[in-house]
A and B are shown apart, each in its own frame.
Chain A
């Protein structure tokens, strides 16, 4: 087992009249037990120069099975405030990453279709323009 820690913090001095600041840390563990995760795809980078929809992380071929505790990190490394990349679960859009934006979320990678809708759990991306944009991403499991 490995000890892998994911941390989040947010701060603002002017979003509210009082300063906003909090942080959260979690040692990433396997599903339902205290044993640390053991796997990672490593940090990868992929550059897109098209506005076509593509599979960024193929759930069923990347992992034989999933348990829902897997985590995904994706960052749009561009600096554009107008170009974005849609992040989708199949046809369902989660959200948009503009330049510098990142996300960290659990995912249901694997051959299991957790909601039994036949839609699979691939993580797909669609750049908003054909301008070159690079995503960094990593799966932890």
Chain B
């Protein structure tokens, strides 16, 4: 098992008038229902062309009810650009330039893909999935 720690901070001195906003938390990534660390990882950087919805992460039945943690960041700097993130045909939201997200991803069936669509141009996204349950596809040739 591996020990992988994820930290989150949210700070602002002026979003709220009553007090500064200061949220901080961390978690260690475990296998589903266990206290055994996740030990598989995939990561990448992709250029996403506009006009097509692409499977950024393709769900497979091997991942059903397993722990999957997904990080996605839009590396663009033009603030008008965004990528729409969709799960199983339901829109989660938009990652504008510089935005990032970190979510658990429960693959409850083989259509539970995480998809990405660029609003304009060709946008670069970075991603990482730390997970369990993956089996490599059998070679067909």
| Chain A residues near B (Cβ < 8 Å) | 2-16, 20, 24, 26-27, 29, 31-34, 37-38, 40, 42-43, 67-71, 73, 75, 81-82, 84, 86-87, 89-90, 92-98, 100-108, 114-115, 117, 119, 121, 138, 140
Query: Is B3 a contact of A68 with CB atoms below 8 Å?
Result: no
Q: List 30 A-B contacts (CB under 8 A).
A: A2-B12, A2-B15, A5-B9, A6-B10, A8-B8, A10-B6, A10-B7, A12-B2, A20-B4, A26-B99, A32-B79, A32-B82, A43-B23, A68-B84, A68-B91, A68-B94, A69-B94, A70-B93, A82-B33, A89-B92, A94-B103, A94-B106, A95-B106, A103-B103, A104-B10, A104-B100, A107-B93, A108-B92, A121-B91, A138-B23
Q: A9-B7, A119-B90 are in contact. Are A24 and B82 (CB under 8 A)?
A: no
Query: Is A73 a contact of B10 with CB atoms below 8 Å?
Result: yes
Best-buried of A20, A95, A97, A108 by chain B (most CB within 10 Å): A95
Interface size on B, residues (CB 8 A): 62
| Chain B residues near A (Cβ < 8 Å) | 2-16, 21, 23, 25, 27-28, 30, 32-35, 37-39, 41, 67-68, 71, 73, 79-80, 82, 84-96, 98-106, 108, 112, 128, 130
Query: Is B93 a contact of A40 with CB atoms below 8 Å?
Result: no
Chain B residues, CB < 8 A from A90: 90
What separation, in Å, do the CA atoms of A81 and B28 have in the docked complex?
A: 11
A107 to chain B, nearest CB (A): 4
